Amino acid sequence: MPDQHPGEVFIVSGPSGAGKGTLVQALMQRMPDLWLSISATTRAPRPGEKEGVHYVFLAAEEFECIRAEDGFLEWAEVHGNRYGTLRSAVEQRTDAGQTVILEIDPQGAEQVKRTMPSATLVFIAPPSFAELRRRLEKRGSETPEQIERRLHRAVAELKIADTYDYVIINDDVTRATEELACIVRSHAQQRITDVKD
Ligand code: 5GP
């Protein structure tokens, strides 16, 4: 089916620990007109995480029901938990012409790109593997075994970076956020030019 939604979709993806969440939060502060999709997950909330703000926290059966009804634009199992983008919320925003940001893992990014070929893929890469390990350890929210699993997966995820539309190396949050904002702005500018033409 053709991809007919008027609002643009930007997918911010990359390995866990690359700093996608921090960059996306900083982007939202700079560009509050963007709409950030709140994912559903079966993972338990971390301290300080709020229902409906960081995630929609669901029991495994609730997640399964939505999945069975095709309610996810994409979904994936990441590090033993399920995560999904709620289709109706995203489609409502794109139908209204709003620019949507999805912060999701590379498996989900691939699924969205298949169903919405006009979506723009932005890969957030850590400056180095050692830095990725340091960030995951500093975050303190994963056990040593979980950190090893995430690092193992990151090796495979880093290899797909060159299939994305853009790659941002997150060695400096301010600079990386500016790059992300530039990408979004330049697409908006291009759309205005296309409409005029
Ligand atoms: P965390 O548990 O650390 O919040 O997230 C783990 C991973 O799941 C991160 O890479 C994050 O980007 C990804 N993630 C969050 N929401 C979604 C989603 O809706 N779909 C997919 N595919 N991945 C997600």
Q: 190 in a domain, yes or no?
A: yes
Q: What is the tens place of the pLDDT at every residue in 22-40?
A: 999 999 999 999 999 999 9
Residue closest by Cα to atom 17 of ligand 1? 104
Q: 155 in a domain, yes or no?
A: yes
Question: pLDDT higher for 141 or 57?
Answer: 57
Question: pLDDT higher for 44 or 159?
Answer: 44
- Look at residue 9 and give its three-state secondary structure: strand
pTM for this one? 0.91
Neighbour count for residue 141 (Cβ, 10 Å): 11
In the prediction, which pLDDT does 3 show?
A: 55
The helix, strand and coil proportions of the chain, stated in percent and rounded to the nearest 5, come to 45, 20, 30
The response to whether residue 37 sits with its C-beta less than 6 Å from ligand 1 reads no
**Structural domain count, the chain:** 1
Closest CA to 14 of 174, 191, 135: 135
Dig out the tokens for 168 from the structure.
């941002």
Indicate if the pLDDT at residue 192 is higher than 80: no
In the prediction, which pLDDT does 1 show?
A: 47
Q: 98 in a domain, yes or no?
A: yes
Q: What is the tens place of the pLDDT at every residue in 149-169?
A: 989 988 888 889 989 999 999
User: Range of 96's domain?
Assistant: 9-196
Q: What is the tens place of the pLDDT at every residue in 66-123?
A: 999 999 999 999 989 999 999 999 999 999 999 999 999 999 999 999 999 999 999 9
CA of 26 to the centre of ligand 1 (A): 17
Q: 67 in a domain, yes or no?
A: yes
Q: 165 in a domain, yes or no?
A: yes
CA of 24 to the centre of ligand 1 (A): 13
Domain of 73, CATH number, reads: 3.40.50.300
Distance between CA atoms of residues 80 and 9, nearest Å:
27
Q: 95 in a domain, yes or no?
A: yes
The response to whether residue 105 sits with its C-beta less than 6 Å from ligand 1 reads yes
The response to whether residue 157 sits with its C-beta less than 6 Å from ligand 1 reads no
Q: 4 in a domain, yes or no?
A: no
Closest CA to 22 of 126, 154, 137, 163: 126
Q: 3 in a domain, yes or no?
A: no
CA of 185 to the centre of ligand 1 (A): 25
Q: Is 73:85 a contact under the CB 8 Å cutoff?
A: yes
